[in-house]
Structure 1
Amino acid sequence: MTFGQLAGLIAAIAFLILVVFACVVLTQLSKTMKEANATIAVLTRDMDNLSKEVEDVLGNTNSLLDDINKKSTQLDPAVKAVADVSQSVIDVNNSLHEMTEKVNARREKAQLGMSLLKTAGKAAVVNGIARFKQRRAEKKGVDTDE
């Protein structure tokens, strides 16, 4: 065997190994592609089912939202009435506070007047007693002088 034949034999063996390796890789790649295609088919089918269910959920959500909107529209007068009652209560409360302040002011004024009247009455009584004592003392003094 010559050197050229030996080189050709080595090249042929290397090419054979390369072909065998390529066949193994292509076989594995083919299996992987088949599994990927099967997975994609399952995902596509599942996505179709899921999209149908999502459409049903969206339809139900829209009908519920319409129902809620109708009911909230019906509740608007009640909410307005509650707001009006609340405002009325606030007005009554403010009026009661004003009336209480006026009554307290009048009571304080009356108490001040009564206090002044009591003071004046006490002063008059004390003054009257003092005059009485003075007159009595004067009469005793006049009686003793005679």
Structure 2
Amino acid sequence: MTGGEVAGLIAAIAFLILAVGIAIFVLRVAAVTKEVKQTVSEVNKTLDVVNSEMGGLTHEVEGLLVKANTLLNDVNGKVATIDPVFTAVGELGESVSALNNSTRNLVTRVSGGVVNTTKATVVARAGQKAYAMFKKNKTEQPTK
């Protein structure tokens, strides 16, 4: 064998090794591409299912929000209806408390002694506290 034939043989073997390496690389890339294609197909199917279910879920959530708004409007209307009742109870409590204080002062002046707390005072103070709590809760409610 001459030097040219040896060089040609080495070049052919190198080309064969290069061709085999490229073939193996191309086969692996093809396998990965096939797996990616299958994954994308499965993702598309899953997204189709999710999108079809999302329409029903969106409809249900919308219905729930409408019902919640209706309920909130109803509650606000009822609170507005009973607002004068709590106002009247609070004012009545204040009036009874003032009357009780006046009566206590009168009795103290007449008898010169200390007067015990009466049931009317307890009721008046309870009414005042209920009115104050109602008024506080009403001011803390968010407005529309």
The offset of 1:28, in angstroms, is 1.3
Please say if 1:101 is aligned against 2:66. no
Aligned residue number for residue 15 of structure 1: 15
Letter in 1 for 2:82: V
- TM-score w.r.t. length of structure 1: 0.69
Once residues 32 and 110 of structure 2 are traced to their aligned partners in structure 1, the CA distance between those partners, rounded to angstroms, is 105
Letter in 1 for 2:16: L
Aligned residue number for residue 36 of structure 2: 36
- TM-score w.r.t. length of structure 2: 0.70
Deviations 1:42-85 (A, max 9, x none): 11111011011112101111112112222322333212123332
1:1-146, aligned counterparts within 5 Å? Answer: 1-112=1-112
Structure 2: runs of 5+ lacking an equivalent: 114-144
Letter in 2 for 1:40: V
Larger radius of gyration: 1
Once residues 2 and 82 of structure 1 are traced to their aligned partners in structure 2, the CA distance between those partners, rounded to angstroms, is 115
The offset of 1:7, in angstroms, is 2.4
Segment of structure 1 superposing worse, 7-16 or 25-34: 7-16
Once residues 100 and 15 of structure 1 are traced to their aligned partners in structure 2, the CA distance between those partners, rounded to angstroms, is 115
Once residues 56 and 89 of structure 2 are traced to their aligned partners in structure 1, the CA distance between those partners, rounded to angstroms, is 48
Higher helix share: 1
Aligned residue number for residue 141 of structure 1: none
Letter in 2 for 1:57: L
Once residues 52 and 111 of structure 2 are traced to their aligned partners in structure 1, the CA distance between those partners, rounded to angstroms, is 84
Amino-acid identity (%): 25
Task: Choose between structure 1 and 2 for higher RCO, CA contacts under 8 A separated by at least 6 residues.
Answer: 2
Deviations 1:74-113 (A, max 9, x none): 333212123332222221221222112111111121123x
Once residues 20 and 83 of structure 2 are traced to their aligned partners in structure 1, the CA distance between those partners, rounded to angstroms, is 87
Once residues 3 and 84 of structure 1 are traced to their aligned partners in structure 2, the CA distance between those partners, rounded to angstroms, is 116
Once residues 2 and 106 of structure 2 are traced to their aligned partners in structure 1, the CA distance between those partners, rounded to angstroms, is 139
Once residues 30 and 62 of structure 1 are traced to their aligned partners in structure 2, the CA distance between those partners, rounded to angstroms, is 47
Once residues 8 and 83 of structure 2 are traced to their aligned partners in structure 1, the CA distance between those partners, rounded to angstroms, is 102
